[in-house]
Structure 1
Amino acid sequence: MLELLNVCAGYGAINVLWDVSLTMARGQLTTIIGPNGAGKTTLLRAIMGLLPLTNGEIRLDGQRIDSTPAWRMSDAGVAMIPEGRMVFRDMSVEENLIMGAFNRAHRAHVKQRLESSYDMFPRLRERRRQLAGSLSGGEAQMLAMARGLMSDPRLLIVDEPSLGLAPVVVTELFEILKRLKQDGRTIVLVEQNTERAVGVADHVYLMQGGKAVLSQPASETDLAQLHEAYFAR
Structure 2
Amino acid sequence: MVFDDLTVRENLTLGNVQEKPDRYFDRFPRLAERLDQPAGTMSGGERKILAFVRAMIEDTNIVVLDEPSEGVQPENIDHMAECLKERATAGAGVLLCEQNLTFLTSISSWYLGLDAGTAVLDKPASAVSAAQLRSILSL
TM-score band, normalised by shorter chain: 0.7 to 0.9
TM-superposed CA distance for 1:158, in Å, is 0.5
2:25 is aligned, of 114, 121, 130, to 121
With normalisation by structure 1, the TM-score equals 0.53
In the alignment, the residues of structure 2 paired with residue 171 and residue 151 of structure 1 have an alpha-carbon distance, to the nearest angstrom, of 21
* C-alpha separation in 2, matches of 1:147 and 1:226: 29
226, 229, 232: which is aligned to 2:133? 226
SS at the partner of 1:205? strand
Say which SS state the counterpart of residue 60 (structure 2) adopts: coil
Q: Aligned match of 1:169 in 70, 76, 95? A: 76
RMSD: 2.0
Structure 1 residues not aligned, in runs of 5+: 1-85
Higher helix share: 2
Counterpart among 34, 38, 59 of residue 152 in structure 1: 59
Report Cα offsets for 1:181-214 as digits up to 9, x if no partner. Answer: 2222211000011232122111011111211111
**1:119/1:223 Cα in 2 relative to 1: closer, same or farther (>3 Å)?**
same
Aligned mates of 1:156, 1:118 — CA distance in 2: 19
How do residues 11-26 of structure 1 correspond to structure 2 at under 5 angstroms? none
Q: What SS class does the counterpart of residue 35 from structure 2 fall into?
A: coil
SS of the equivalent of 1:204 reads: strand
State the SS of the aligned residue for 1:98: coil
**Between Structure 1 and Structure 2, how many residues are aligned?**
136
Residue deviations 1:135-183, cap 9 Å, x none?
Answer: 2333222211222234311111010001122222222222222222222
TM norm structure 2: 0.84
More strand by share: 1
Matching residue's letter, 1:180: R
CA distance in 2, matches of 1:204, 1:152: 25
Identity of aligned residues (%): 35
| Alpha-carbon distance in structure 2 between the residues aligned to 1:90 and 1:142 | 17
SS of the residue aligned with 2:88? helix
1:173 aligned partner, one-letter code: M
1: distance between equivalents of 2:138 and 2:56?
A: 34
Matches within 5 A, 1:1-233: 86-101=1-16, 113-114=19-20, 117-122=21-26, 123=29, 124-232=31-139
For residues 11-42 of structure 1, give each alpha carbon's deviation from its aligned partner in whole angstroms, at most 9, with x where no partner exists. xxxxxxxxxxxxxxxxxxxxxxxxxxxxxxxx
Contact 1:100 1:148 in 2 (8 A): no
Work out the CA distance in 2 between the residues paired with 1:139 and 1:149. Answer: 15
Tell which structure's C-alpha radius of gyration is larger. 1
One-letter code aligned to 2:7? S
